[in-house]
């Protein structure tokens, strides 16, 4: 039986999420990859325990995470039931709905029918009475925003979710949705965009500013560009990598120009006494516009390495200028 580390809160840093009362760890663990039916169950347990032992309280899921879709939630539910149940009140567990989940017209997008059914299914898979955060996973161009936001609000009023969030929304969509949620009495807690050094759309589009304007926090996914902002591809493409499998990252996207940028960034990281991955994660959190970086992992050692960023989140003006100079050439 798992017993949590007594010192789990000694090193992790936490930041208030937007204008809410909720503090989130600066590093959260996503179960997008490596928690599905095809993955080793004991490794999942080791990663979850390592994360919690290091103060990571936030675990991020979605209805379709796997493979197969739903299996990440099922595996998390098994581990929660067998080992993490005594710590439920110390955990922030999130899930989402918005992508294709089951056959027919009610298993996708953002209708009230789909959203309500999806949350009920997620709660059953994870053996939970409620989730802490429930997200709409992507905008639905064909469903009135009022309907989708109304479903999110009612989830909170029914006690099935404590907070609501949005993922993959643009700045104007975010502000419109936040206004509807606020009118419904359920303020938008958080938004989840794609954001890293090599893709700054969330920053340049005004999304980060929009989140601040409406009082929402930000948790960014893929902060390491699916592994590109690490040492993993600097000496070639490993056979077991996502790029080699063309799994969310295509081998053709690992260009020599991109690698030259990554090598220059690595030199700056070395000067800071950090790995490239650590610096890339810390960079996302600069200025506190991003509440949390959402990491993925395939083994517990990666989690232990990434959590070290909380000891060195500060950048000098010279370091930031050097990073900008490199990224300007990208």
3-state secondary structure of 129: coil
List domains and CATH numbers for the chain: 14-233+276-314 (3.20.20.100)
Average pLDDT over residues 244-273: 80
Beta 23-25 vs 14-16: how paired, if at all? antiparallel
DSSP assignment of 199-216: B-HHHHTTHHHHHHHHT-
- Strand partners of residue 293: 27, 220
Q: Band of the pLDDT at 246, cuts 50, 70, 90?
A: very low
CA terminus-to-terminus distance, the chain: 49
Contact by Cβ (8 Å): 77, 128: yes
Q: Band of the pLDDT at 140, cuts 50, 70, 90?
A: very high
pLDDT at residue 245, rounded to an integer: 46
Could you tell me the two tokens for 3? 């017993």
CA pair distance 181, 165, nearest whole angstrom: 10
pLDDT at residue 254, rounded to an integer: 76
Residue given tokens 């879709």 in the structure block: 69
In tens, the pLDDT along 263-317 reads: 999 999 999 999 999 999 999 999 999 999 999 999 999 999 999 999 999 999 9
CA pair distance 308, 44, nearest whole angstrom: 21
Instruction: State the DSSP H helix or E strand holding residue 96, giving kind and residue range, or none if neither.
Output: strand 92-97
In tens, the pLDDT along 30-83 reads: 999 999 999 999 999 999 999 999 999 999 999 999 999 999 999 999 999 999
Q: Band of the pLDDT at 243, cuts 50, 70, 90?
A: very low
Residue given tokens 């040492």 in the structure block: 231
């Amino acid at each position: 039986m798992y017993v949590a580390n007594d010192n789990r809160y000694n090193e992790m840093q936490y930041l208030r999420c937007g204008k809410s009362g909720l503090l989130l760890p600066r590093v959260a663990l996503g179960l997008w990859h490596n928690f599905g039916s095809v993955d080793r169950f004991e490794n999942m347990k080791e990663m979850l325990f390592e994360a919690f032992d290091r103060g990571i309280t936030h675990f991020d899921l979605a209805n379709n995470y796997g493979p197969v879709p739903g299996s990440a939630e099922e595996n998390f539910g098994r581990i929660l039931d067998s080992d993490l149940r005594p710590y439920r009140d110390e955990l922030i567990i999130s899930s989402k709905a918005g992508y294709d989940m089951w056959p027919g017209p009610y298993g996708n997008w953002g209708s009230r029918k789909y959203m309500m059914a999806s949350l009920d299914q997620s709660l059953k898979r994870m053996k939970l009475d409620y989730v802490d955060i429930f997200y709409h996973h992507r905008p639905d161009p064909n469903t009135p925003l009022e309907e989708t936001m109304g479903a999110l609000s009612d989830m909170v009023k029914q006690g099935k979710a404590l907070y609501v969030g949005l993922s993959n929304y643009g700045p104007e969509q975010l502000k419109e949705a936040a206004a509807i949620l606020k009118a419904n009495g359920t303020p938008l807690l958080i938004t989840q965009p794609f954001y890293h050094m090599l893709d700054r759309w969330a920053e340049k589009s005004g999304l980060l500013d929009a989140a601040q304007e409406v009082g929402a926090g930000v948790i960014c996914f893929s902060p390491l560009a699916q592994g590109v902002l690490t040492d993993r591809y600097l000496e070639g493409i490993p056979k077991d990598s996502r790029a080699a499998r063309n799994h969310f990252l295509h081998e053709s996207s690992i260009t020599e120009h991109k690698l030259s940028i990554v090598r220059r960034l690595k030199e700056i990281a070395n000067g800071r006494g950090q790995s490239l991955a650590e610096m890339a994660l810390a960079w996302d959190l600069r200025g506190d516009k991003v509440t949390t970086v959402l990491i993925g992992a395939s083994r517990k050692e990666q989690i232990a390495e990434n959590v070290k960023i909380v000891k060195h989140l500060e950048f000098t003006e010279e370091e930031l200028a050097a990073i900008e100079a490199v990224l300007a050439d990208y």
